[in-house]
Amino acid sequence: MTNEKQSIQSEEFERQAVPKSHLKSWKSFLGMYAGEHAAGTEFMIGPLFLTAGVSAFDLIVGLLLGNLMAVLSWRFLTAEIAVKNRWTLYYHLEKICGKNLVTFYNIANGILFCFLAGAMITVSATAVGIPFDMEMPKLSDTMPNGPTWMIIVLVIGTIISIVAARGYDSVSKAANWMSPFIVLAFLACGFVALGQLEVESFADFWNIWGEGSAPFPGQIKYTFWHVVFWSWFCNAAMHIGMSDLVVFRYAKNASSGWTTAAGMYVGHYAAWIAASLLYAVYIQSPEAQGFLNNGEAPPVAPGPLAYNAIGIFGIIAVIIAGWTTANPTIYRAGLAFQAIMPKISTFWTSILAGTIATIAGLFPAFAMKLLGFVALYGFILAPVGAVIVFEHFFAKKVGIIKNYAEEAGISFNQSVLFAWGISFGIFYFISISQGIFLSFLTLPAWLSCGALFLILSKYFQKRKEE
């Protein structure tokens, strides 16, 4: 093989459209989304719903609706725009925002993705630590709880980072290999937990959650609409926030966006419910009841929960589940950093992202507060995606120049900064001052940012012409 061919094969097309020769069929995305979303986060999120006191209707029907909205967002916004341009999010934003402004976004985006990947390294570590009789982190823990924990996290983080750094093909292949195993593990965990809970009918199953309960200490109460909006926007940064332009730029056509349903309904539906069942078994144990009697929430440690259900198979499943979420997340973060440092290869920026993720994984708080953290990072990043969406669909109708920073030769598009800053500031203030659930405000902030971007672009572009 010539050096030229090797160079082409290792190219991640960070600053150009993906060529037709590198486009992939829907099967590539099916495996990746099934693997990424039936993964480490699911082992955490399912139990956390139970700590929030959800009812059976809120959980089962709320997840059906919320996940449907997420799939529609990927299909008709992210995939649609991705196949029209075939750029990464970061290169697309650079054309609109200017290099200086997009640098700040890329730093924030990359670091937040690293924190999410770190939470998944934490998840895998709870499984690896079982043979070493490692003390598991509690819901209230924020700091590393010992040298064994730190060593395990560092080893896992190193391995995951190297795979992610090898590029999209390695990430996709790893997900395709591992996703069937993980899905099987979740199903097995769910069925074993049903047996342990002595469920013999649909009524018994429904009564696991029943009419809901008071939230556990330190948690907030989730209603039907909490479940709907949280499940829709837990991946807001990836769909309406456009981060998955990075992924779908390789799709042959926009219909590949439907493959996200595999992730949503296998992972964010069946797997969340199965993980919730595991925790339902645990909270009946004397250990968990002891925590509750002391006014503390019982710990959520995916490794022991899965091990209690299906033994060694459960340990392996949790390790791999954390891996398949952290891998593409670190890949996305690496591309964000590479956009800032274009002279450095994607391999090394992915290693940098993996290093930050591994350090984050040492601190259990990112995993234990995952519901709140995911809502926050989606709220921060999603409105920037509205800039791309609104420009794509409405630029001609409004009469503004597309890719204005590139066309005008500017490095800082103030329309974008003001649109995001005003939207974020107003709705975050409303959330904090009025105690409104943050996911309820993600869509208003997104719509506000997109509309303001169009209005401000019209104003500033007209001023420059004058």
- pLDDT tens for the chain, residues 1 to 466: 333 333 333 456 767 777 777 888 888 888 778 767 777 678 788 888 888 999 999 999 999 999 999 999 999 999 999 999 988 888 899 899 998 888 888 888 888 888 888 888 888 888 888 877 777 777 777 788 778 888 888 988 888 788 777 765 665 566 567 767 778 888 898 999 999 999 999 999 999 999 988 888 878 899 999 999 999 999 998 899 998 998 899 999 999 999 999 889 988 999 899 989 999 998 888 888 888 888 887 877 788 888 888 888 888 888 777 777 777 778 778 877 887 887 787 788 888 888 899 998 888 877 777 778 888 888 998 999 999 999 999 999 999 999 999 998 888 999 999 999 999 999 999 999 999 999 999 999 999 999 999 999 999 887 766 5
Q: What is the pTM of this model?
A: 0.84
Determine contact, residues 196/160, Cβ cutoff 8 Å: no
Determine contact, residues 56/201, Cβ cutoff 8 Å: no
Q: Which of 377, 398, 374, 376 is nearest to 387 (CA)?
A: 398
Residues 6+ apart with CB under 8 A from 104: none
Please report the beta strands in 76-149, taking only residues with DSSP state E, as ranges in sequence order.
none
| Surface-to-core class of residue 445, CB atoms within 10 Å of its CB (0-12 exposed, 13-18 middle, 19+ buried) | buried
Sketch the domain layout of the chain as residue ranges.
40-380
Torsion of CA 179, 241, 326, 13, to 10 degrees: 90
SS3 60: helix
Instruction: Tell me the C-alpha distance between 56 and 76, whole Å.
Output: 30
**pLDDT value of residue 170:** 60
Length of the chain: 466
Instruction: State the SS3 of 390-409.
Output: HHHHHHHHHCCCCCHHHHHC
Q: How far is CA 182 from CA 35, 331, 360, in A?
A: 7, 20, 24
**pLDDT value of residue 1:** 36
Identify the bridge partners of residue 24 per DSSP, sorted by sequence position: 251
Query: Which token pair is 399?
Result: 């009469």
Instruction: Tell me the C-alpha distance between 321 and 185, whole Å.
Output: 10
Does domain 40-380 fall under CATH 1.10.4160.10? My reply is yes
* Helix 40-51 and helix 370-398, axial crossing angle in degrees, nearest 10: 110
Residues 6+ apart with CB under 8 A from 7: none
Neighbour count for residue 396 (Cβ, 10 Å): 10
Query: Which token pair is 219?
Result: 């948690």
Instruction: Tell me the C-alpha distance between 119 and 325, whole Å.
Output: 10
**pLDDT value of residue 422:** 96
Instruction: Tell me the C-alpha distance between 242 and 92, whole Å.
Output: 10
Determine contact, residues 233/48, Cβ cutoff 8 Å: no
Residues 6+ apart with CB under 8 A from 210: 55, 56
Q: Which of 118, 129, 46 is nearest to 307 (CA)?
A: 129
Query: Which token pair is 261?
Result: 């349903």
